[in-house]
Amino acid sequence: MKKKPLKIISLFAGAGGMDLGFKNAGFDIIWANDFDPDSVKTYKRNFGDHIVLGDIEKIRTNNMPDNPDIVIGGFPCQGFSIANLGRSVDDSRNKLYKQMLRVIRVKKPKYFVAENVAGILTLGKGAVMQKIIKDFKSIGYKVDYKLLNAADYGVPQARRRVFIIGNRLGLDNQFPKQTHETPLTEKHMLAEVLEKHITTKEAIGFLSKAPLTNKVFYSNNRVIHNHVGDTNVHDEFWGRKYPVNQFDICDYLKKWRKKAGISTKKVDEHFGYAHTAGHWFRKDNNSGSIPNPDDWKGLKKLLGFDSKYDKQATTLVKKKIQFEQSLRITNWDTPSDTLTATSPEIHVNLKRRLSVRECAILQTFPDDFVFEGATFRSMHKQIGNAVPVLLAEKVAKEIKKMIESKSLIRAA
């Protein structure tokens, strides 16, 4: 008798990277949710109508299917990201894991899988992660987590993400073993038989000569969708309006820190995470030495300094970044850098940003997975927020093996 596929509820589904990985591993997604309209359009086109558009905080659990085998979700990461300099323990987005907790508490799946950025491990000096694990354990789950690099599993992208796995079957949680060597692979691991990492060039090099188009076309015996992107490589950034001498400011801040009798360690503790505070008080670093406006205000409150440099440090204006080599992909012969939900990198040898399809390939979405969205930014955001499909599939296969092993033990 053929086994029925294990059923999944997917929260914060986005465009469906994690969902597709689990589907490829033989699971059945019976219900999903996301609040972004374009992501939901993409999801519906590629999976079907079982996704619900809306704020998870406003959706009652009795409107979700009962008896799922697994609940999965990559709860929003903006508040946890190391790249987010303004992150805070109190960021409201950091509390969305509690919506996942709410669903799991009521639906009681055999397993759950949560995914998030590496920055979650250091937020609040680790206190946030400890709280999350404690909360999931409190509702009856054995919980483990591990930081995985997608490049270690055949994804052509160095993307480090935390996976939290919990089960109420009394099993030890298992994570997939590394399958691919990367430039950072430790030498002692090379004794194991690891495949060569997938480079950016190997993954998307075949599209370098293909003109950007929204039409479907064939390239390298592949049917290509969404090979669209931004050829305007003049980007904007926030820069300081008034000239400022970082050495003068370093001396100024150092003087006030000593006057207040506060160590750099205490400054770190005040901000609540491993901060770059040390750079603010020394003159041997040419980048990151001047606090951003929010940090400046926080420092002023902590150290009690005067308003001498307030205008220079806190007044920002938008400026143009011209097309420069420094903005290009630099790792053509290694896995790419982590794709983000904002602007994609500029192509290594073309005057354009990476196309939607190129980014999708770096996230291991298949060629027939079509993205919906009125703008390039929307589609790039969906891809940048996604879990790499191949990595999700390998995590899913480990869970499937664990569930099936439990079933075999019961049947014996």
Give per-residue pLDDT as tens, 356-384.
Answer: 999 999 999 999 999 999 899 999 999 99
- Give the model's confidence band at 211: pLDDT under 50 very low, under 70 low, under 90 confident, else very high: very high
The Cβ-side half-sphere exposure at 140, using a 13 Å CA radius, reads 11
The pLDDT score that the predictor gives to residue 326 is 47
What strands, in cross-sheet order, belong to the sheet with 111-117?
A: 51-53, 28-34, 7-11, 70-73, 111-117, 160-167, 142-149
Residue 357 lies in a domain: no
Indicate whether 406 and 286 sit together in one domain. no
Cα–Cα distances in angstroms (integers) from residue 83 to residues 117, 208, 320, 329, 339, in the given order? 10, 29, 21, 18, 12
- Give the model's confidence band at 82: pLDDT under 50 very low, under 70 low, under 90 confident, else very high: very low
The pLDDT score that the predictor gives to residue 119 is 84
The alpha carbon of 382 is separated from its chain's Cα centroid by a whole number of angstroms, namely 11
Mean of pLDDT values over 272-293: 64
From 320, 341, 365, give the residue that closes a domain.
320
- Name the average pLDDT for the chain: 85
The pLDDT score that the predictor gives to residue 407 is 64
Residue 222 lies in a domain: no
Give per-residue pLDDT as tens, 302-347.
Answer: 999 999 999 988 888 776 655 444 455 657 888 988 888 777 787 8
Active site residues: 77
Indicate whether 69 and 174 sit together in one domain. yes
Indicate whether 132 and 31 sit together in one domain. yes
The pLDDT score that the predictor gives to residue 363 is 98
Global pTM reads 0.75
Indicate whether 122 and 173 sit together in one domain. yes
Mean of pLDDT values over 229-233: 80
Indicate whether 250 and 190 sit together in one domain. no
User: Which CATH number fits the domain that encloses residue 264?
Assistant: 1.10.260
Give per-residue pLDDT as tens, 238-276.
Answer: 677 777 777 788 889 989 999 999 888 888 777 765 555
| 387/339 Cα distance (integer angstroms) | 11
User: Hey, which bits of 150-277 come out as E strands?
Assistant: 160-167, 217-219, 222-224, 235-240
Lowest-confidence pick of 127-136, 184-193, 308-317, 362-371: 184-193
Indicate whether 65 and 167 sit together in one domain. yes
User: Which CATH number fits the domain that encloses residue 129?
Assistant: 3.40.50.150
The pLDDT score that the predictor gives to residue 333 is 87
Residue 142 lies in a domain: yes
Indicate whether 29 and 107 sit together in one domain. yes
Indicate whether 64 and 146 sit together in one domain. yes
Lowest-confidence pick of 19-33, 81-95, 345-359: 81-95
Residue 59 lies in a domain: yes
Long-range residue pairs from 395-399, CB within 8 A, at least 24 positions apart, any chain: 395/21, 395/113, 395/148, 395/163, 395/165, 395/175, 395/176, 396/21, 396/22, 396/24, 396/25, 396/27, 396/113, 397/25, 397/176, 398/174, 398/175, 398/176, 399/70, 399/111, 399/113, 399/165, 399/174
Indicate whether 293 and 177 sit together in one domain. no
Mean of pLDDT values over 13-21: 98
For residue 360, what are the contacts with CB-CB under 8 A and spacing of at least 6? Answer: 226, 369, 371, 383
From 267, 294, 320, give the residue that closes a domain.
320
| SS3 call for 109 | coil
- Give the model's confidence band at 173: pLDDT under 50 very low, under 70 low, under 90 confident, else very high: very high
Indicate whether 11 and 151 sit together in one domain. yes
* DSSP secondary structure letters along 148-179: EEGGGGT-SB--EEEEEEEESSSPPP--PPP-
Residue 329 lies in a domain: no
Indicate whether 12 and 130 sit together in one domain. yes
Closest Cα to residue 335, out of 231, 215, 166, 181?
181
Residue 123 lies in a domain: yes
Lowest-confidence pick of 211-220, 244-253, 259-268, 285-294: 285-294
* DSSP secondary structure letters along 338-368: PP-SSPPPBPSSSSSBPPHHHHHHHTT--TT
Domain range for 297 is 236-320
Domain count, the chain: 2
The pLDDT score that the predictor gives to residue 113 is 98
Residue 40 lies in a domain: yes
Indicate whether 171 and 94 sit together in one domain. yes
From 264, 299, 320, give the residue that closes a domain.
320
Residue 258 lies in a domain: yes
